[in-house]
Amino acid sequence: MSISEQTILRAAGIGADTGLASVVAVRGNIMGMSQKAEDAVLRPKETGAFSHALRAALAARVAGRAKDQELADYYAEAAGEYADLVRLDATGGAQGLEAVVTFVDRVANQTRDIAQEDIKALQQAGVCDPDIVRLCELVAFLAYQIRVVSGLRLMKGDGQ
C-alpha cells in the first residue's frame, strides 16, 4: 500500500518525497494496520444499522469537533445522504438519529463522562448492543487517527 493510499499519511501531508517518508517507512506495518483498522470501522462488510455513508458522516463530525478540517473534509466526501450530519449544529433529528449523534458527540468529546444512562438512551432509541459497540469502535479509532495525524504534523513542523 502506497503512502497516498493511507489516510493518516495523506492527512498529515506526508508524501513519498517528504523527509518523514523514510521515518514512516520504518513503521510501515503500523501504518498499514491503521489503514486496515480504518477500513474495518468505516467500510466494513457487515455494517449493522450504520451504512458506510452514515459512518463517514459521523467520522467527519468527530474530526470536525477535533478541529481537523482536512480529515473532516475527507470523510465528508463519502457522507452521501447523511452529508448534513457533518454540520456540527445538526442534531440528527431529521433522520431519526438524534440519540446516535448525541452519543457520538459525547463519546468523542467527553469520553470519561459516559455513563450507563448514555447507553440506555441509545437502547431506548432502538440501537442494538452490537451497533453500540460499532459506534464506540468508530469513535475510538477516530480518536487514535486524529492523534497520530496531529503528531505527524507536529513532527513535520506544521504545528496543527
What is the pTM (predicted TM-score) of this model? Answer: 0.88
Name the residue with higher pLDDT: 16 or 8: 8
Give the model's confidence band at 4: pLDDT under 50 very low, under 70 low, under 90 confident, else very high. Answer: low
Which of 4-8, 23-27, 151-155 is predicted least confidently? 23-27
Q: Based on C-alpha coordinates, what's the Rg of the chain? A: 16
Mean local confidence (pLDDT), 82-110: 95
Q: Give the number of other CB atoms < 10 A from CB of residue 16.
A: 12
Which of 6-20, 58-72, 110-124 is predicted least confidently? 6-20
Q: Tell me if residue 82 falls in helix, strand or coil.
A: helix
Give the model's confidence band at 2: pLDDT under 50 very low, under 70 low, under 90 confident, else very high. Answer: low
Sequence-ordered list of residues with C-beta below 8 angstroms from that of 56, at least 6 positions apart, any chain: 42, 75, 76, 77, 78, 79, 80, 82
Grid coordinates representing 97? 438519529
In total, the chain counts a number of residues equal to: 160
Which of 3-12, 42-51, 55-64 is predicted least confidently? 3-12
pLDDT at residue 145 greater than cutoff 70 = yes
φ/ψ (deg, to 5) at 122 = -65, -45
pLDDT at residue 75 greater than cutoff 70 = yes
- Is 123 in contact with 132 (CB distance < 8 Å)? yes
Which residue's C-alpha cell is 431506548? 124
Q: Tell me if residue 78 falls in helix, strand or coil.
A: coil
Report domain extents, the chain: 3-156
- Is 145 in contact with 38 (CB distance < 8 Å)? yes
pLDDT at residue 51 greater than cutoff 90 = yes
Give the model's confidence band at 96: pLDDT under 50 very low, under 70 low, under 90 confident, else very high. Answer: very high
> What share of the chain has pLDDT > 70, as a percent?
91
What CATH number does the domain located at 3-156 have?
Answer: 1.20.1290
- Is 101 in contact with 75 (CB distance < 8 Å)? no
pLDDT at residue 143 greater than cutoff 90 = yes
- Interatomic CA distance for residues 7 and 68, integer angstroms: 13
- Interatomic CA distance for residues 62 and 23, integer angstroms: 28
